[in-house]
Amino acid sequence: MVAAQAPGSDDIGNPVAEVRNNRSWESGPFLNWGSGVGSRSDYKFFWGGYELLKVISPVALAHPGFLSGQFEYGGSIMPLWQAYTPPPHTVEITCVNSSGQVYSCPWGFGGGTFRGVSIEPVIFRWNFLTHARRIQPWFQAAGGLIYTTHKFPPNYYSDPALGIDGGTCVWNFSPQGGGGIHIFIRPKRSIDVNINGVHMSSASLGDRNPGVNGSVQVQVGYTFWR
């Protein structure tokens, strides 16, 4: 069963209830720090940007009750996007000489700091219904697009003679999901903390698509509500 909830008398002077009842806009800057996981655990990330979202639905009461809440939609832009990977280095690969003999040979592998920009045109957020006056928890799913000035992630350097092509792509997609909280420090102002799991992949737009299968990103922001 889903139903709209009417504002109550206990909402007066409650910053969380105020933005809930007004279906407010939220906007503000944020900084993001993260790390890859698994085979990308030596990758680090630092992003900065601005997000804009709008609460677009009334409160829906669901059973079980902890699923009750409001739907919010928005997006973000990150003019600061950096990834820190191990510096360029040499790896051993299998080579074949003119006689067809297989041997091990050193080969260059890219790396270093990658810079770019990112946009997330789709952020679907669910604000859980709470009786707290200062804390608003939420869950979200989002999708973005990343452009880097050099092909990311790094891979083998190219050599057509050996059939090795290190071309990944300057474009990557970033599907993600996570949760967080708004901590209201006063009416219409909150500090926000959230944790996201982010996948990065070029969807095979380049010759190779090693991607970053998983990364954990921690984001801290300051939000203006109106």
Ordered by start, the domain boundaries in the chain are 14-86+123-138+154-169+188-225
**What does the pLDDT look like over 161-189, one tens digit per residue?**
555 567 799 999 999 999 999 999 999 99
CA-to-CA distance for 9 and 194, rounded, in angstroms? Answer: 30
Kindly report the pTM of this predicted structure.
0.88
How high is the mean pLDDT in each 10-residue block of the chain (226 residues)? 47 88 97 96 98 96 87 98 95 86 89 97 97 96 97 83 72 98 97 98 89 97 97
CA-to-CA distance for 157 and 48, rounded, in angstroms? Answer: 30
**What does the pLDDT look like over 4-25, one tens digit per residue?**
444 454 576 899 999 999 999 9
**What does the pLDDT look like over 113-123, one tens digit per residue?**
999 999 999 99
